[in-house]
A and B are shown apart, each in its own frame.
Chain A
Amino acid sequence: MNIFRLTGDLSHLAAIIILLLKIWKTRSCAGISGKSQILFALVFTTRYLDLLTSFISLYNTSMKFIYIGCAYATVYMIYAKFKATYDGNHDTFRVEFLVVPIGGLAFLVNHDFSPLEILWTFSIYLESVAILPQLFMISKTGEAETITTHYLFFLGLYRALYLMNWIWRFYFEGFFDMIAIVAGVVQTILYCDFFYLYVTKVLKGKKLSLPA
């Protein structure tokens, strides 16, 4: 464990909690892409199956349960509890165009052709593009609630911190995982446009509205 990975995990946890509290407190999921949240639940489910097979540490196991629990709770709130506030008309990204090719890619490019490893690879690839429906929805509505921009900021920051973690681990431990690194770079690049808007607008107290 190093400082980049720890702050990365805490940033990820903060994002997940911010979103959960936003929906719970405002009793509304307006502006939130349910499709992205389904993809994240799928990412955690396919990545954390090793909960059943191996124990690494209390931290590792507890964080995985928290991530999975919050992800499904968020999906439940969007599609069941606060379904009336779900903005389906703007959440129209064709996720099948992501899931199917990525499923194929996970079979072709992986470290080991075993079920757990292919599912882990699938979850790594999927996570890198899972935010696209959410970013697409914001581009369609042309704006985002400020709390949603904080959610996206911490979510984007977490993988950027993981990139630093991998530089650290390569330098000090000689460890590196090309699949996770390439997917992590793609994932972080997808947030660059948002990071620019977040820093130039939201941090200056303005609302995040795309070029109107």
Chain B
Amino acid sequence: MLELRLVQGSLLKKVLESIKDLVNDANFDFSSSGFSLQSMDSSHVALVALLLKSEGFEHYRCDRNTSMGMNLGNMSKMLKCAGNDDIITIKGDDGSDTVTFMFESPTQDKIADFEMKLMDIDSEHLGIPEAEYHAIVKMPSAEFARICKDLASIGDTVVISVTKEGVKFSTRGDIGTANIVLRQNTTVDKPEDATVIEMNEPVSMTFALRYMNSFTKATPLSNTVTISMSPDLPVVVEYKIAEMGYVRFYLAPKMEE
């Protein structure tokens, strides 16, 4: 028996929108402490890790650990039928090959049930090692999205360089080059507007902008984004989901031949 009631149902809608273009099918792993998802994109260059802890749910019941394979495109179609203010409940029964999404309007005058077929998914489970990162940049998520979008109109890849001067995003393409530098800025009215650079050692890495732009679909989930980099390790782009968990995207760097 599985029953999860999320008053802020829009959160689940936003989570799905942030990952559905990267991952087609994925196993959702439910346990008593919350649910998680880990999946690589089809080209095996990026990895998505999602965690939503049980504390964030108004009601959370999971009698035994269970894994449900879902097509994220289909799940997104169903969740789009929920209103932004709706309460969303996920229900499942042991051994069933379906999952039910229930949408309740805030005034309880409309209640909808959507039953979705589950699927068997073979997925390799990867251990994500704890790493000491050379540099961790925390910045407004909207600013990061703007930079990725702007640079993608010039080039295909972004070089992210962190020095004690700041963080530099650079690209080059047929029409020219672009460099955007952000300096550490903690003297802001709201903490979420700050750019904070923690640097142990300077680092410079190259990534495909196509993936970075895909990650920024998670922008509505969080006012800030954290970018953690170490040479030869996948970059971690993390959007924290207030009080509940996170969506993390890992992307392999582009290497010189």
A and B bind: no
